[in-house]
Structure 1
Amino acid sequence: MLDTGNFVVFNSDEDIIWQSFQYPTTSILQGQHLSAGMELFSSVSETDQSTGIFRLKMQHDGNLVQYPVDTPDTAPYSYWSSFTDGKGDNVSLNLDNDGHLYMLNSTGFNIKDLNTGGYDDTNRTIYLMKIDSDGIFRLYSYRLDRNGNRSVIWSSTSDKCAPKGLCGLNGYCVDVDREANCICLPGFAPVIEGNFTAGCERNFSSDSCKSDDGTIQYTIQAAENTVWEDNGYSEVTSTTREECDTACYEDCNCEAAMFNDGKCTKQRLPLRYGRRDLSNSNIALIKSCFQIQKVFYRQQHKIVRDRCSYFV
C-alpha cells in the first residue's frame, strides 16, 4: 500500500502488475483518474458500502455524466453532465494533490476544470471525490490532524432533488429548506418505512377496480407541479383537467394520467423519477379508491365512505 492510497502488486522484477488506482469503484483519490468507459457507483449508505442506485460515467464521447443504475447512457436518463460531449474518445477525469479536479483529452489538454484547486497540497490534507448515496458527487478534503475534519469543497449540484430515482418508484422528491424529502403519491405508502429509495406501493388492491358489488368507488387525486418520466401508453384529446380525470377514471387500465397545457397522457404504474417543480404546470392525476361500508347507527341505515388514499 503506497502513501497515496494505491494498493499495488509487484512481480519478482518489482514491476507493477496490478494497482487499485486503475480500478476505481466508488471514489477517486488524489493522483487517480477515471478513464473513458469507466464508471463510479454510489454506495447504499455511509454504513453500507454495497453498490447503490447511482453511477457516474466517463463516456467515450468526452462527456462526464450521472445516471441512475441500470439505465441506458442516453440523455433522458441523465441528471447531470459536464457538457463536454464531442471532446474526443479518450477524455479522463483527474484529481491532483491540491484539490484540482479537471478533465484532460487524449493530448493532455485541459478541456474543463470542475474545481480549480489551489488548496493545501502538503501531506496534512488529502482529497477524495466520491458519489454519495444521495446521488450527488462531491469533492472532499480531509485534514490529517487530531480533529480529522472533513469538508465539501465542490459538488456536482446543490439541488438535492436532481438525482433521478432518489425517492424510488411512485415517490417524488420535494426540496424543503435545501434538503430532499420524499413523498408518496396519493393512495401509496412507503414499501419500507424510513427507506425512501425503496419507493412506495398502493395501500389498497387495484384488483378491486373490477369489483361489481358496489363497495368500491374510485376517484382521481392530484399531485400538482410534479414532473415524471413520460411513459404513457395512450394520449387522449383533452382541453381541461376534468376531461383528463374522466378519461382515466373510465379506463380500468389507467392507473394515473399526466395533464399539462391541454395534453393528457394515460399512464400505468409504476411512475418514476418524480420531483416537485413549482415552475412546471404538470399535474399527476392518480386513481385512488373509496371503500363504502354499510353500518347501522340508531337503527338508521347509513353509508360511510372510508378513503383508502392519503398523502404520506
Structure 2
Amino acid sequence: MSLQDYAQDVDSRRQERRREMPIAKAGRAIETLQDWERYAPPKSHHHWVDGRSAKETARAWLEPDGYAMPQEVHEVLHRHPSFGSVLDWDAEPEARLRFDAFAGEPRNTDLLVIATDAFGTYLLAIEAKADEPYGETIGETFAAALERRIDNPRSKGIARVEGLAALLLKPRLAGQPKARDLRYQLLTACAGALAEAQRRQLTRAIMLVQEFVTPATSESNHARNAADLQAFLERLSGRSDLLVQHGELQGPFVFADDAGIDLFVGKVMRNLRGCDD
C-alpha cells in the first residue's frame, strides 16, 4: 500500500466509524497540543518546548489530523515482513509500564501504541529523542543500586539490574561492548514493552526510537545516541553485523522468559531543520 493509498484508507475508515480520536489519556481524548500538555505533560515542564522530544512527539502524532500515524512510522512498519498496513490503532502518551514485581516507579514510555494489522494486534513503544541522552549506563545504575543496598538491605535495585541483563542480553562476543557500558534506559524500554505485551496477551512488541533532528539539536549528540543504540542492539541480538538504520526494524528477537513474544527494535527520524514552526 502506497503512502497515498494509506492516507486515503485512514480517511475512509475515519468517516465510516466516526470514532473518537485514537490518542487519549485516562479516558480524555487528545486532539491538540494543548490537550497533550494538559493531560499527558512531560515530567518537567521545561521539557515542553519546540525542538525537543516531548513537544515534537505530540506534534508528529497529532498532525495532520491525529488519525494517521506519522509517515515515518507507517513506512518502517510497512517495510518489515512481520507487519502489514495498519488497520487500527490507539495510543497513550506517558504510559507507565511495570516490568517486574519490585517496588518503585513503573517505566515511563513516551507513547504506547496498540495497533492492528492483517497479522493481528501488536504493541509499539515509542522512545522519543531529540538529542537527549539515554541516561545512565548499566554500570552507573548498578553502582547507585549498590549504595542503596548498603543503606537498606531490602533494596531490590541490584536484583532489578541483574534480572534485566539476564533476560535481555546475550553473552558477550569478542569486540562487543561490555554490559556495564550499555545504556540502562534501553533495557527498561524493551522490558516495559515485553511486559505490557505479555499482560495484553500479544505476541509482537516493538521498541521504536523516534528521533527528531531540529535546530535545537547537535550532530555530536545524535551520533552519541546512535552509537549507544547500536551497542545495545549488538548485545540484545548477540550479533555484531546488525545495524540500526533510520527507517528499519531489526528482529524478531526471542527471549527465555517473555512468553513467546517477538521483540523488534528500530529507529525512525524526522528532520525539522529549516521547517517553519
**Normalised by the shorter chain, which TM-score bucket?**
under 0.3
Greater relative CO, 1 or 2 (CA 8 Å, sep 6+)? 2
Larger Rg: 1
Q: TM-score, normalized by length of structure 1? A: 0.25
Q: Going by fraction, where is strand more abundant, 1 or 2?
A: 1
Q: TM-score, normalized by length of structure 2? A: 0.27
